[in-house]
């Protein structure tokens, strides 16, 4: 009798644990640069993911389970990204990750096997670095075009109007060097070469040496592969010594912030490639959803490309979660994400076995008066 009672109690306890697990939250983790040189972008990235998860939760979540979006500040530091990701996986029990920044930071996660240790997928990294795309790895689901795609589009635009003297300003790390490699490849296709290079160190805003080095080469155009504050410092200083040079940046730069930090007189006319449709005037259904979510869950925030990109990333995460059969685990989510081939409302994303490059969308915008971006 005692043994039978013990078994009944044990069975009841197991049932309670299983029920509690089934009714628990689904944790999605994010390590983002909420401080440091990329802070303004990092905050927008976290915001974009949050407002979509809030929207889903307000509608009942995933099968009655709410999504808990856990965000940690890595300050754009590689060692912090690694430490905090281990924390998200081991302590917070994240079944998936979203929206990390930094080619070098994410490359370190791969080299240390942090994602592989628990088969944890990372969706929508805020980087187009080629080292994260080739060779193929199964853990990262890209929803944006690569830097090489963006730079190819810039070089195409420059050379089509006879600008062949092209230089590059870059961050001296994996992120910046991936951009340099992309520029060299795009130019070599046209039997051209870079006329100059100027770099700055990650975490620094000292661009004086880069400005001097590039000014000596008299470029017609400069491609920037840099984060916000150093990019703004470069535009401000380089315009003084070479006001006629066209400057283009890859998509990690926020136009309004660049306009404010560099100063409108010098920032006007800077080109910025974009890897998602305009969140300001786009007619796509997903843009309307984004703006409605922003108004409801973050009414004081303005639309931005960075927050819209992470809104799209969160939609992909949820699309994967809805396809999970059985318990929500990192491995189950990764397998489910592999089956995603969806129109998110005017923006298509497609993955598959051995395929993690979800989109190749690129367009060029120009910074106009007031920090407004237009085509």
CA dihedral (42, 198, 263, 206) positive or negative: positive
Give the long-range contacts of residues 54-63, CB within 8 A, separation 24 or more: 54/293, 54/296, 54/297, 55/289, 55/293, 55/296, 55/297, 56/318, 61/26, 62/26, 62/318, 62/321, 62/322, 62/328
| C-beta atoms surrounding 147 within 10 Å | 28
Domains and CATH numbers, the chain: 2-146+282-350 (3.40.50.2300), 147-274 (3.40.50.2300)
The pLDDT of residue 23 is 55
The pLDDT of residue 73 is 98
Would you give the DSSP letter of residue 162? T
Beta strands 363-367 and 271-274: pairing type?
antiparallel
Rounded to the nearest 5°, which phi and psi values hold at 255?
Answer: -60, -45
The pLDDT of residue 18 is 39
DSSP-derived 3-state class of residue 154? helix
| C-beta atoms surrounding 280 within 10 Å | 17
Q: What gap in Å lies between CA 358 and CA 363, rounded to an integer?
A: 16
The pLDDT of residue 22 is 42
Distance of CA 305 to the CA centre of its chain: 10
Strand ranges inside 121-242, DSSP E: 122-123, 140-141, 166-171, 196-200, 221-225
DSSP-derived 3-state class of residue 84? helix
Strand ranges inside the chain, DSSP E: 26-32, 67-73, 96-98, 122-123, 140-141, 166-171, 196-200, 221-225, 246-249, 271-274, 341-343, 348-350, 363-367, 373-374
The pLDDT of residue 6 is 41
The tally of CA atoms less than 13 A away on the side-chain side of residue 270 is 33
Q: Tokens 């395929």 belong to which residue?
A: 355
Q: What gap in Å lies between CA 252 and CA 232, rounded to an integer?
A: 12
Complete DSSP assignment for 269-325: T-EEEESS--TTT--SHHHHHHHHHHHHH-TTPPP-HHHHHHHHHHHHHHHHHHH--
Q: Cβ(366)–Cβ(375) under 8 Å?
A: yes
Give average pLDDT by consecutive 10-residue segment, the chain, 375 residues: 44 37 81 92 97 98 96 97 98 98 94 96 94 93 95 96 97 92 96 98 95 97 96 97 96 91 92 94 91 97 96 98 96 97 96 96 92 81
């Amino acid at each position: 009798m005692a043994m039978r009672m013990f078994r009944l109690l044990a069975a009841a306890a197991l049932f309670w644990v299983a029920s509690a697990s089934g009714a628990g939250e689904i944790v999605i983790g994010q390590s983002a640069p909420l401080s440091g040189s990329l802070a303004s972008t990092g905050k927008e990235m976290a915001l974009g993911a949050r407002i979509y998860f809030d929207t889903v939760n307000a509608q009942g979540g995933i099968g009655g389970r709410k999504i808990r979006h856990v965000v940690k500040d890595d300050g754009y530091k590689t060692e912090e990204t690694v430490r905090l990701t281990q924390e998200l996986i081991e302590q917070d029990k994240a079944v998936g990750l979203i929206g990390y920044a930094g080619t070098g930071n994410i490359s370190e996660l791969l080299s240390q096997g942090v994602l592989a240790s628990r088969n944890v997928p990372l969706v929508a990294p805020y980087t187009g670095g080629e080292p994260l795309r080739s060779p193929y790895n199964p853990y990262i689901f890209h929803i944006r075009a690569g830097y090489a795609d963006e730079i190819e589009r810039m070089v195409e635009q420059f050379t089509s109007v006879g600008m062949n003297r092209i230089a590059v300003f870059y961050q001296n790390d994996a992120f910046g060097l991936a951009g340099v490699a992309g520029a060299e490849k795009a130019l070599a296709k046209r039997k051209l070469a870079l006329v100059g290079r100027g770099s700055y160190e990650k975490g620094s805003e000292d661009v004086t040496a880069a400005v001097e080095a590039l000014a000596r080469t008299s470029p017609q155009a400069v491609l920037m592969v840099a984060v916000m504050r150093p990019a703004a410092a470069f535009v401000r200083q380089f315009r003084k010594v070479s006001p006629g040079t066209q400057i283009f940046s890859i998509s990690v730069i926020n136009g309004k912030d660049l306009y404010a930090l560099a100063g409108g007189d010098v920032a006007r006319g800077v080109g910025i490639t974009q890897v998602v449709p305009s969140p300001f005037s786009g007619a796509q259904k997903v843009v309307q959803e984004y703006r409605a979510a922003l108004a409801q869950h973050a009414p004081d925030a303005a639309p931005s490309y960075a927050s819209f990109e992470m809104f799209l990333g969160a939609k992909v995460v949820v699309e994967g979660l809805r396809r999970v059969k059985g318990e929500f685990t990192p491995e189950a989510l990764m397998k489910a994400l592999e089956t995603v081939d969806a129109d998110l409302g005017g923006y298509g994303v497609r993955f598959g076995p051995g395929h993690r490059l979800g989109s190749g969308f690129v367009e060029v915008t120009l910074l106009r008066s007031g920090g407004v971006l237009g085509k």
